[in-house]
Each structure stands twice: as structure tokens, then as C-alpha cells.
Structure 1
């Protein structure tokens, strides 16, 4: 009975080391799968942004440390020891330890995060009581741009009408400051002497950008691309032509298909008659 009480007391002391307020412990404990000295935090960061992986160590642990070198960060993907104390052990200058003297926070900072940074990082604290670990699952999200109504990848408009394209950017924790439109790989200039070109962007969880081109002509045909910083772009090909010409082209395609079918039937009949002789 006394041994169980001692284990319970040790377990309670450990929980308080990581969770001063202890509000979220039950959730973290469930995620950790019952591991006695492990806690887990999930962090989501947008591609190209800066990630801050926090590891809070209360003063009760600090007093047992013989030196700051006993707080380490390890990348679990390849078991690379990234830091010990405030010193980093990697040639990647994007990694840095943020720690103020007397603070209980040992933060691993990763600048300009990339897809390869995705994964689990472990903060290890070595004390006289043993090794304590805190895990951070880092998820890198890549915003995606889509142009509405582009399933076919094409958009047809008549000469003199309006090109109206709407681009939506999803999966963006931080709305992009700017959304750029390109025509045949050239950035669209809204102040061009041509006139009639406007862009309206509404930032938010689903940023929307609307490109409007009035009084279209043949030169407006081509590939249109919507893009933003650290975002997978989206493209659509716009055909600008006279309405009658479009109908004529479609009719010619249908007529050609019928001609090919008729020719195939004639060839088959001729072959069959030849074999009967």
C-alpha cells in the first residue's frame, strides 16, 4: 500500500512538472497511450513559416540539473540530436534554441519550414529521477489554390465579353498577403493601358481572389494561373473567340467523327465482300 502511494506521489509530481495548470493533462495522457513520462503536443505550421516547438520544464526539474546541457531536442525521424542546452548540433542554420535564463521554456525554433520538417520531435530532460520526454508532432501544411469551375481545365468566352475567374486558397492557417495572377507566365499588370482589368481579394480561412477582364479580345486567350507565396498554384486555359466560330468548330468535330465512322463501315464491308469471293 505504501509503495503504491509513493508511486502515485511520484506520478503526480511528474505531471505537475510538465503541466503547472494541469488543465489539458487528461487529453495529452490519452494521446500518449498511457506512457508514464511522455506528453504530446500537436503543432501545425504553414510551409515557409517559422515553427516554435515549446518544451516547458518547471523549476522543480531545473533544480536537479547539473547544467543546461541536460535539456536536449531530438528529431525522431533519424534520431538526430539537434541540441543540448542552448547549443545546436546541426549544420542547418534554420534550427535554433530559444531560452532565457531563469525561464522554464526551452523552445526549438525552425525557420522557413519545409515539407521534410514534418514529423515528431522529442524534448529530453535528464534528471536524477530519470529521463523525462515531451513529444511535439509537427505538421507542415501546404496551402492549395483552385480556380472554380475548372474541372475540364478550359474556359470559353466570346470576344467582347468578360473573363471572370475566381481563385480559392484552402489549407492556409495564415491568409496570404498577396494573390498573384499570371497570363502565359507573365504577371498581370492591373494598371496597363489596356484597362478593364481588376482583381478583388478577400483574405480569410478560405481566401478568395477574383480576376475580371472586360472587353476581351484574341490576345486575352491563353493560360491563366493563380498563385500565392508558399502555395500550390492553379491554372486554367481560356479560349477567347467568336461564338459562331466555336459552334462551327464543334460541328466540324462532330462531322469529322461521323465521316470517320462511315469510312470505317465501308472498309469493313469491302473486306467482308472480298473474303466471300
Structure 2
């Protein structure tokens, strides 16, 4: 037996699918599901309480979600009608913005859809400077731009001062598709990468995305259901940490010389992890059997630099050299160890090719100029 007292909820069908036992007797605000306040006084995992729905309620819901969801088509099939012995109608909600009917219910229940208006004074950012009032407002020091790295965790901040948990909710909305991601501490998306991090007794309501993908880049809104409603847009940029080896992609080094390679990693997170050096598939470090190998590393807030040195280069040192950070894309360079005569031959061949390219370029420029002035 289930007893559910409904307060300030319009007549809608209400299904109590699952209620944790520790919520018994507590007053909850669940606007994204019920559209109002629900008090659970007795708990039964399989109970159902229904309230009548008439045409007026359906039309009111249609007005609330108008402009926020697609008007999807209805299909019929004569073959299926014959098999069923009646007329069948198929609503193509797979063409909905979210690919399912759920967008209609979520938008109908949440005030964001039917109160959102860019020209309305209700849609606003309320910053600090209101410490002498009881009105909720955002901390003006809260960052509005966040940069994250692909594959790592992103945390979007939202600090709400004077927040009243009894009367209001904090929600996170993805602006790209007006998708409600979280309400309070609950997640309302099937993508389990999204969740809210709200330290107990704090004013912080972080939206966490873990791991981040390129598609996650964009603007997210932190909303507080005050009257008037306030919102805070937070922009998320997503980048890839990349390694780069200074110089050309192919090097010719004279036999007996020292190989010097400098790898620079653009840093966007707290660290890039360990940075390894490889010749083909062989790791190069202080313990390498070859000997004469040394690695220097330098870290700053803007970049990480790793330097590889191999003394007395031999023919066997030729190969593909890779700088491989743990949390960034690797970079490679091809090295050829050559004797003095081979080095001179390589330089001569390069000079001939460069002269040939310059001659061809000059010819093209002359032809273009002659064509231009002949008109």
C-alpha cells in the first residue's frame, strides 16, 4: 500500500517506481519529474497512484512545450491495420531532438521551457553585492570559462550564495540542445559521464563531465529556480595536449656527433604524466644498454619540456624517435646517422632540389604576371 500526499501538483499520472527508504517522511522537490512538491509518507517499491488527465491538461502541456520540441509526424500502415483488425497510428518520436519521447515530459515538467525568454527580465545573471539580502545570487568570482583536455575530467563551477534548499533547486542545462542534465543532486540524462558534485554544507554546485570529448565543448547554464529565475552561463573549451619536437620531421646527423632532441608539450591540465623517449620500439633512458643517454625535463604552468641527448651517434642509432607523454599525443622525428661524405651528398641533393623548386616557382610567377598584364 502506498500513500503519497501531492502538494501543488497539477492533475497528472504519477508513478512511484522506486523510492529509497531513507526518504520516507521527507519533503522533496522534484520539478523535472512531478512538476511540483511531493511528500512521501509511506514507501512501497511497487505502488502506483494516479490522478485523472483530461483534454485541457493535454492542451496546456502542448502550450508549455511549444517551440522547444519537434513536431514529429504520425505514420500509418495498411498491412499492420489488416493484421490488427483496427487502425494503428505510429508517432515517430525517434525523430525528436533527444531521439525519444522523454524530451516532451522533461520540458513540460521543468519551468525552464515555459519561462525561458531572452527578452524577459526574468532571464538574468544576478552577481554579487547582495550580501545584505536573502536573495540568492552567484559569486562574481566564479569562472565563466573552463578549459578541459580530451579524456580527462571537466568541472564547471557554480557558486550560489544565499541558496535556500527548501524552496529552490539548482539545475544544469546544456545550451546546445536545451537538455536538462541535472536537477539538484540528481542526474536527468542517460549519459553517465555527467553528474553534480556538491560538497556537503557548501555553496558550490559543480557540473562534472568525465571523461570529456570534443563534442562536450559549448555553453552550459547553471540555473536557480528563484523568482525571478537566475542563470549563469559557463563556457567549456575542449583541447588536446600535444607534443612537438623542435626542428624538421627528418634529420641527418653525422656519425660520432651528439643527438639532441627537444620535445615541448602544451600543458592544459595539472600534469602530462611521465614523458618517455623511444627509438622505434626501444625505450631510451639512463638505464639503456646503449649508454650515453640522458634526459632532462622542465615543467612550467604553460609547458613541459623534455630534452634527449645521445652521445657518439652510431649507424645503429638511426630510426624513428618518439616523444611520448603519458597524457598527451606523441610526436616523432626520423633520424639518419650518416658519414661525412654521405652528409655532404645529402646536403648537395637538397640544394639541387631547392634550386629546382625555386626555378619552377619563378617560372609560375612570370607566367601569371604575363597573363595578368596581357588582359
Counterpart of 1:225?
Answer: 322
Cα drift, residue 144 of structure 1: 2.4
CA distance in 1, matches of 2:282, 2:190: 37
Call closer, same or farther: CA 1:250–1:53 in 2, change over 3 Å: closer
- How many residue pairs get aligned? The number is 227
Which stretch has the larger CA shift, 216-225 or 165-174? 165-174
Call closer, same or farther: CA 1:83–1:228 in 2, change over 3 Å: same
1:3-62 superposed Cα distances (whole Å, 9 cap, x missing partner): xxxx9xx99898633245x5x5xxx9xxxxxxxxxxx71112333332221222233554
Contact 2:126/2:230, CA 8 A, preserved across alignment: no
The runs of 5 or more residues in structure 1 that have no matched partner are 1-6, 29-39, 258-277
1:161 aligns with 2:257: yes
1:236 aligns with 2:333: yes
Call closer, same or farther: CA 1:91–1:121 in 2, change over 3 Å: same
CA distance in 2, matches of 1:256, 1:107: 58
Cα drift, residue 148 of structure 1: 1.4
Cα drift, residue 134 of structure 1: 1.1
Cα drift, residue 121 of structure 1: 0.8
For 2:311, which of 205, 209, 214 is the aligned residue? 214
For 1:18, which of 133, 137, 140 is the aligned residue? 137
For 2:343, which of 237, 246, 253 is the aligned residue? 246
Counterpart of 2:223?
Answer: 124
Call closer, same or farther: CA 1:255–1:178 in 2, change over 3 Å: closer
1:96 aligns with 2:215: no
What is the TM-score with the length of structure 2 in the denominator? 0.53
What is the TM-score with the length of structure 1 in the denominator? 0.70
For 1:57, which of 157, 160, 174 is the aligned residue? 160
1:180-233 superposed Cα distances (whole Å, 9 cap, x missing partner): 212224433541222111111111122111111112212211111212133232
Cα drift, residue 252 of structure 1: 6.9
Call closer, same or farther: CA 1:253–1:64 in 2, change over 3 Å: closer
CA distance in 2, matches of 1:253, 1:11: 62
Counterpart of 1:32?
Answer: none
Cα drift, residue 238 of structure 1: 0.5
CA distance in 2, matches of 1:12, 1:245: 71
1:138 aligns with 2:241: no
The runs of 5 or more residues in structure 2 that have no matched partner are 1-120, 131-135, 355-375
For 2:266, which of 170, 184, 189 is the aligned residue? 170
Higher RCO (C-alpha under 8 Å, 6+ residues apart)? 1
Correspondence list, 1:27-106, <5 A: 41-59=144-162, 61-62=164-165, 64-65=167-168, 70-106=169-205
What's the RMSD between the two structures over aligned residues? 3.2
Looking at secondary structure, tell me which structure has more helix per residue.
1
1:99-123 superposed Cα distances (whole Å, 9 cap, x missing partner): 2454322211222322222111111
Call closer, same or farther: CA 1:216–1:64 in 2, change over 3 Å: same
